[in-house]
Structure 1
Amino acid sequence: MTNTGVLKTVRPVVSLSGATLTPPPMNPATRERLEANLAQVKTAYEANPDDPENIIWVGRRTAYLSGYHEAIDIYTEGLKKFPDHYKLLRHRGHRYISVRQFDRAIADLERAARLIEGVQDQVEPDGAPNRYNIPTSSNHFNIWYHLGLAYYLKGDFENALRCFTENKKFVYNFDALVANSDWLYMIYRRLGREQEAKTLLEPIRNDLSIIENDAYFKRLRMYKGEIAPADLLGTGGGDLDRELALATQGYGVANWYLYNGQIEKAKEMFTQIIKSPSWAAFGYIAAEAELNRTAK
């Protein structure tokens, strides 16, 4: 496996507009913890390099340190040993999204979806556990979620709709419900299917018990008119918290402007989002894709 030592440097990611994206600032204590986690899984890999789960965890821990290209390399080497391993394809597909290679992401995730068909679903362990240490998604869910996202980012809303509709079968809790519903809502609105988008919001009550997907929950409540767009961005937390909120919640706000005919305000928000350092966030990538499409 490549890069089995300490991850000192990572290859930069190139944005859809050709800009070089370098890793954002990271709290030293957080970096130390993530590096220790990476060292631990590398030790496990070296003890048993033929266990695909060990390969997956080295890739995941590498990506948490912004080593997205390096993680892809790790999964690729793993797939040479285990070419039909749907988990390796799921994780490589995810990281192809991070590096803006949507067609490769789609190829991996479509193949993963075929390979996992008929396999009993299982909870996918979290690499960055929530405050309750309760995983909220599954193997099937994550394949269809990321596949739908990759199609969405390409502007292929019909295929995105197919994927997120299929993914409703694997929604087992409120966190998964709001994550899947948020993208489905945006897809319906992009397709001009407003009544279906409105119907989708009916199960989203303001008393849902959400463990980690609060950003999706708030965006859906904004679409329902329960939260004002300006309130969604918030002003609390440190600089990095505000930047991440802009990249995630800001995309929902930009879409709200777009759906309500405020095109210039939407474009301003999309542009503001891509000035933040949180370029690995899906909201940032989606804003980048939006601006890239409209520039053509």
Structure 2
Amino acid sequence: MKKHFISGLMLSALLIATACDKKEQTYELKDFQGLSLLGDSLNIPNRTTAQVDALTASLNEAKAKFEANPSEMSTIWLGRRYAYLSDYQKAIEVFSEGLKQYPNSYKLYRHRGHRYISLRQFDKAIADFEKAYELMPKGVLETEPDGAPNKPNIPLSNTQFNVLYHYGLAHYLKGEFAKAEPIYEELLANYCDNLDLFVATTDWLYMTLKRQNKDEEAAKLLTNILTETKVLETAKELTEIANAIMLDKVLGYRTEIIENDSYYKRLLMYKGELPVEELFKTNNEDVALSLATQGYGVANWHLYNGNIAKAKEILTQVLSGTSWAAFGYIAAEADMKRLE
């Protein structure tokens, strides 16, 4: 079957009913969203007609719920639906309006901060996450529903995790690794209640430590990353390991990593248990996202091994992709700018 693609410019002409005002108005999806750290235009990605239709239907549903009841949660979902269309400017606008109505909403701060990262506005993101952290309840895990559910339809993240995860990320992207480190450590200790969250946090903390030349601490962090074979060989010792990957094989909990396989592969590569070239292979349906994530890991590996020329080559490859909102893509921009 022939696929029909709608370009960013064509999307600009797509009219969707606005959800920020109950009056009859129209919403125009802007192709241009901002500039990358390297000065390139960030434009709405190409999508198939079917993808646009599905995203538009979800937006219209969120609009209807918001109009019926402009609650904190319906405001959050409205902003999230704009973000899924890659209109991060509009999403930020919705979250900002929501914060006027709900000034103590750590959830609104969390989501707005995320989209400030998407648009490379790191200082604004950090300010939002500082506020979200101040306001959020500590020591609890509030499940955050998924806007794009995974295959098992199991929400994996929690609000507390997302506040700290993106807070640390914003500092990392600014090159403020000493500030990112304690944030990731707190996250790892208190808010990673499944394997997906654990591998994602461990990966960013590992990179943060390596950027500070804390090689021994980084290597120690990798001792918690085990392959299934290693787990079965050392089953008697695993009860003493707090957060080891595949620990659930012994204890009887969920065994698979559902979403963050790319982070797991990066960690195995850093540990020397997965060949570097394997990270350019992916079975993920979102190939562009996986290559941005895994490709950035390969560039890091070359940086850690002193091969700056090869690292820049891989970073260039990552930046030739289309997933400009992916964290690996943004991190590749930040590193490339520092290496210029």
TM-score, length-normalised on structure 1? 0.94
Matched, 1:247 2:267: no
| Matches of 1:236 and 1:93, distance apart in 2 | 30
Alignment of 1:145-184 (within 5 A): 145-168=165-188, 169-184=190-205
Alignment partner, residue 57 of structure 2: 36
Alignment partner, residue 276 of structure 2: 229
The verdict on how the C-alpha distance between 1:80 and 1:131 changes in structure 2, with shifts beyond 3 A counting, is same
Q: 2:314 pairs with 253, 257, 269, which one? A: 269
Alignment partner, residue 65 of structure 1: 85
| Matches of 1:58 and 1:19, distance apart in 2 | 28
Which structure has the bigger radius of gyration?
2
Distance apart, 1:236 and its partner CA: 5.9
Per-residue Cα deviation, 1:68-104 (whole angstroms, up to 9, x for no partner): 0110000000001111110000000000000000000
Per-residue Cα deviation, 1:8-30 (whole angstroms, up to 9, x for no partner): 42242211122111111123222
Highest relative contact order (Cα 8 Å, sep 6+), 1 or 2? 1
Matched, 1:289 2:334: yes
Q: For residue 21 of structure 1, give the secondary structure of its aligned residue in structure 2.
A: strand
| Matches of 2:26 and 2:151, distance apart in 1 | 28
Q: For residue 12 of structure 1, give the secondary structure of its aligned residue in structure 2.
A: strand
Q: 1:192 pairs with 209, 213, 231, which one? A: 213
Report runs of 4+ in structure 1 exceeding 3 Å deviation: 1-8, 117-120, 235-238
| Matches of 1:137 and 1:77, distance apart in 2 | 25
The verdict on how the C-alpha distance between 1:206 and 1:31 changes in structure 2, with shifts beyond 3 A counting, is farther
Matched, 1:115 2:157: no
| Matches of 2:147 and 2:163, distance apart in 1 | 16
Q: What count of residue pairs does the alignment treat as equivalent?
A: 292
| Matches of 1:6 and 1:218, distance apart in 2 | 44
Q: In the alignment, is the contact (CA less than 8 A) between 1:14 and 1:99 conserved in 2?
A: yes
The verdict on how the C-alpha distance between 1:19 and 1:203 changes in structure 2, with shifts beyond 3 A counting, is same
| Matches of 2:65 and 2:284, distance apart in 1 | 36
What's the C-alpha RMSD, in Å, of the aligned pairs?
A: 1.7
Matched, 1:280 2:311: no
Structure 1, gaps ≥5 residues long:
none
| Percent of aligned pairs with the same amino acid | 50
Distance apart, 1:6 and its partner CA: 6.6
Q: 2:262 pairs with 208, 215, 218, which one? A: 215
Q: In the alignment, is the contact (CA less than 8 A) between 2:185 and 2:205 conserved in 1?
A: yes
Alignment partner, residue 74 of structure 1: 94
Q: For residue 171 of structure 1, give the secondary structure of its aligned residue in structure 2.
A: coil
Q: In the alignment, is the contact (CA less than 8 A) between 2:282 and 2:290 conserved in 1?
A: no
The verdict on how the C-alpha distance between 1:214 and 1:235 changes in structure 2, with shifts beyond 3 A counting, is closer
| Matches of 1:245 and 1:118, distance apart in 2 | 32
Matched, 1:97 2:117: yes
Distance apart, 1:31 and its partner CA: 1.9
Q: 2:105 pairs with 77, 85, 98, which one? A: 85
Alignment partner, residue 25 of structure 1: 46
| Matches of 1:126 and 1:243, distance apart in 2 | 20
Q: For residue 202 of structure 1, give the secondary structure of its aligned residue in structure 2.
A: helix
Distance apart, 1:143 and its partner CA: 0.2
Alignment of 1:36-55 (within 5 A): 36-49=57-70, 51-55=71-75
Aligned AA for 2:307? Q
Q: For residue 201 of structure 1, give the secondary structure of its aligned residue in structure 2.
A: helix
Q: In the alignment, is the contact (CA less than 8 A) between 1:2 and 1:73 conserved in 2?
A: no
With 176-185 and 117-126 compared, the bigger mean Cα shift is at 117-126
Q: In the alignment, is the contact (CA less than 8 A) between 2:82 and 2:90 conserved in 1?
A: yes
Q: For residue 13 of structure 1, give the secondary structure of its aligned residue in structure 2.
A: strand
Distance apart, 1:188 and its partner CA: 0.9
| Matches of 1:272 and 1:219, distance apart in 2 | 17
Q: In the alignment, is the contact (CA less than 8 A) between 2:107 and 2:132 conserved in 1?
A: yes
Alignment partner, residue 201 of structure 1: 222
Distance apart, 1:254 and its partner CA: 0.2
Distance apart, 1:106 and its partner CA: 0.0
| Matches of 1:161 and 1:173, distance apart in 2 | 21
Per-residue Cα deviation, 1:120-147 (whole angstroms, up to 9, x for no partner): 3211111111111111111110000000
Distance apart, 1:245 and its partner CA: 2.7
| Matches of 1:118 and 1:146, distance apart in 2 | 16
